[in-house]
Structure 1
Amino acid sequence: MRQCRFTRLTLKVSDIGPVLITGCSSGVGHAVARAFRAADFETFATARDLGALEELRAIDCQTLALDVTDEGSRRAAVEAVERQFGAVGILVNNAGYGQYGPIEEISLDDMRRQFETNVFGGVRLSQLVLPAMRRAGKGRIVNVSSVAGRVSVMGGGAYHATKFALEAIADALRPEVKPFGIEVVSVLPGPIATHFEATLLKTIPDADAHSPYAPFKKGLARRMHAFLAPGGFGVMTADHVARVVFKAGTTSRPRTRYSVGFIAKFGPFGRALAPDRLVDAMTRSVISNSAG
């Protein structure tokens, strides 16, 4: 087995074990699966729809149907890996989407669905892989979080709340499992040009002309479209993020967090230094101007 690239401190493929990745139908998850498979890892790519994984199957990824919100599906995926290899070597919790819109108009059912997918799915998968990792004396959980877990802005409260939750859970879990040889690492990208935007725009509650938030929702949609546009300021490709996820999973002494891209690296600093009221006014102005 060849050694993974990056640095001389990178672990060998044979020292790590198989990789289980969620949300591989497109975007970052798809790119992460390609990166691990290219480095000879036994790669289990998952998605709710197996048909979306044909390209990954063609490069010899093993593919599994996995709905991260369904307990039977979660158990079946972990058991499939453990039957062959005894334990998952690296769990990459990537599945997720962005629920956007004014808090007043997001139903509690939609809010719960956001947490079930973005938070509870990854937490439960982590719980399921940990016993075998602990017996093996090694393992790694890589959470694909977001700069949205460090900075919250109007219009994205539901999505940001899930990413803040992921960060809090990771900070608690990391020292809990460290004595067993298990690492927990967070990867926090800035804006990425993927299908995330299309899904995000569909989640904004319908623009009812009688809604007091109608102009806001129109501006929010336009703002997020521009913010995530390929080639825009600080906007990255899925492959860029995948390379960092790969590094987080394979370097022998990982950081606790990897902030990816200019906005993720410097945005939280600017937000911490700026008064809340100033940030509120600036974001209102940007979205109002986007509404036209």
Structure 2
Amino acid sequence: MEAKVALVTGGSSGIGEIAAKQLKEAGFTVYAAARRVERMEALSHSGIRTLELDVTDQESARDVVATILDEQGRIDVLVNNAGYGSYGALEEVPLSEAQSQLDVNVLGLARMTQLVLPHMRRQGTGTIINISSMGGRFSTPLGSWYHASKYAVEGLSDAMRLELRQFGIDVVLIEPGGIRSEWGTIAAKHLRQTSGDGPYSKLAAGMASTLDASSKPGYRLASEPEVVARTIVKAASADKPRTRYAVGIGSAPMIALSKILPNRLFDRLISQATRI
């Protein structure tokens, strides 16, 4: 049977890089795409095709999809993994930065999906895997625009699932908890730059410390990115994947608690968990 073709965005590091490797090991023909092509050299040597991609640029996105279709004639799996975390108090985050957060995490995901859907519809099959977060189901302080983007990914995915099932296309949400990667360090840097001084500095110090800790070896509240990558492979390989996979330390129980606890009690729990 011909290998299925998978495209992974944000493939230069973390979850995307490892997911590309594991999909290749599972027998998929894999394309990893990211802005930082030079960081995907090891993937290229392992037989994974690497492409330059800026998900916020229509031409860049169109070129990537066209290249894969020219070379393979099909795309069976799209893993929308590209994204970052913009942290800072809502009062202090410039709206230009808010726009950037939504451009990457929401509109970039939508752009890639729009480009592959006509081909998946013609195939009568396909799987869209959107990397959300437990932060798409509840919020933490100083992450308003990040959470807004992930809440949007959740809503988009739910609507897409209803629209696309008639064409044999599955839409899957993966909701990681804390994951040990450079994501936390980058988010902490954003936070300190935006709200490290001024009225929110105490909140920012506690939250930045938590974000930084999540990227360090031995931090007990963060899982390795391989946990998410294995789930991506599981969803991509399944005939009938689940609509949601809550994965990694804390994700499933925290999502459950957010549903059953009164809001103010859950707020206190979040404040304690983030050292605020």
Asked whether the two chains share a fold, i.e. TM above 0.5, the reply is: yes
Tell me how many residue pairs correspond in the alignment.
Answer: 276
Aligned with residue 266 of structure 2, among 279, 282, 285 = 279
Aligned with residue 45 of structure 1, among 32, 44, 66 = 32
What letter matches 1:37 in structure 2? Answer: K
Cα deviation digits, residues 56-103 of structure 1 (max 9, x gap)? 001010110000111110000000011122221100000001111111
1:203 aligns with 2:158: no
> After superposition, where does 1:235-274 map in structure 2 within 5 Å?
235-274=222-261
CA RMSD between the two structures: 1.8
Residue in 1 that maps onto 2:95: 108
Q: Normalising by structure 1, what TM-score?
A: 0.89
Residue in 2 that maps onto 1:149: 136
Task: Give 1:233 deviation, angstroms.
Answer: 3.2
- Are residues 238 and 262 of structure 1, via their aligned partners in 2, closer, same or farther at CA, if it must alter by over 3 Å? closer
- What's the secondary structure of 2:193's corresponding residue? coil
Q: Say whether the 8 Å CA contact 1:86–1:132 is kept in structure 2.
A: no
Q: Normalising by structure 2, what TM-score?
A: 0.94
> After superposition, where does 1:1-292 map in structure 2 within 5 Å?
14=2, 17-206=4-193, 211-284=198-271, 287=274
CA distance in 2, matches of 1:261, 1:200: 19
Q: Say whether the 8 Å CA contact 1:190–1:260 is kept in structure 2.
A: yes
- Are residues 234 and 207 of structure 1, via their aligned partners in 2, closer, same or farther at CA, if it must alter by over 3 Å? closer
What letter matches 1:20 in structure 2? Answer: L
CA distance in 1, matches of 2:60, 2:128: 19
Cα deviation digits, residues 169-219 of structure 1 (max 9, x gap)? 000001211111111111111110011112111211537776111222112
What letter matches 2:223 in structure 1? Answer: M
CA distance in 2, matches of 1:257, 1:208: 33
CA distance in 1, matches of 2:234, 2:272: 38
CA distance in 2, matches of 1:195, 1:210: 23
CA distance in 2, matches of 1:58, 1:150: 38
- Are residues 127 and 30 of structure 1, via their aligned partners in 2, closer, same or farther at CA, if it must alter by over 3 Å? same
Task: Give 1:44 deviation, angstroms.
Answer: 0.5
Task: Give 1:238 deviation, angstroms.
Answer: 1.1
- Are residues 166 and 208 of structure 1, via their aligned partners in 2, closer, same or farther at CA, if it must alter by over 3 Å? closer
Q: Say whether the 8 Å CA contact 1:207–1:218 is kept in structure 2.
A: no
Task: Give 1:154 deviation, angstroms.
Answer: 1.0
What letter matches 2:148 in structure 1? Answer: A
Q: Pick the structure with greater CA Rg.
A: 1
CA distance in 2, matches of 1:238, 1:198: 15
Task: Give 1:227 deviation, angstroms.
Answer: 4.3
**Gapped runs of 5+ residues in structure 1?**
2-13
- What's the secondary structure of 2:250's corresponding residue? helix
What letter matches 1:110 in structure 2? Answer: E
Q: Say whether the 8 Å CA contact 1:106–1:205 is kept in structure 2.
A: no
Q: Say whether the 8 Å CA contact 1:230–1:236 is kept in structure 2.
A: no
- Are residues 209 and 140 of structure 1, via their aligned partners in 2, closer, same or farther at CA, if it must alter by over 3 Å? closer
How many percent of aligned residue pairs carry the same amino acid? 38
Q: Say whether the 8 Å CA contact 1:118–1:163 is kept in structure 2.
A: yes
- What's the secondary structure of 1:204's corresponding residue? helix
What letter matches 1:219 in structure 2? Answer: G
- Are residues 265 and 209 of structure 1, via their aligned partners in 2, closer, same or farther at CA, if it must alter by over 3 Å? closer
What letter matches 1:55 in structure 2? Answer: A
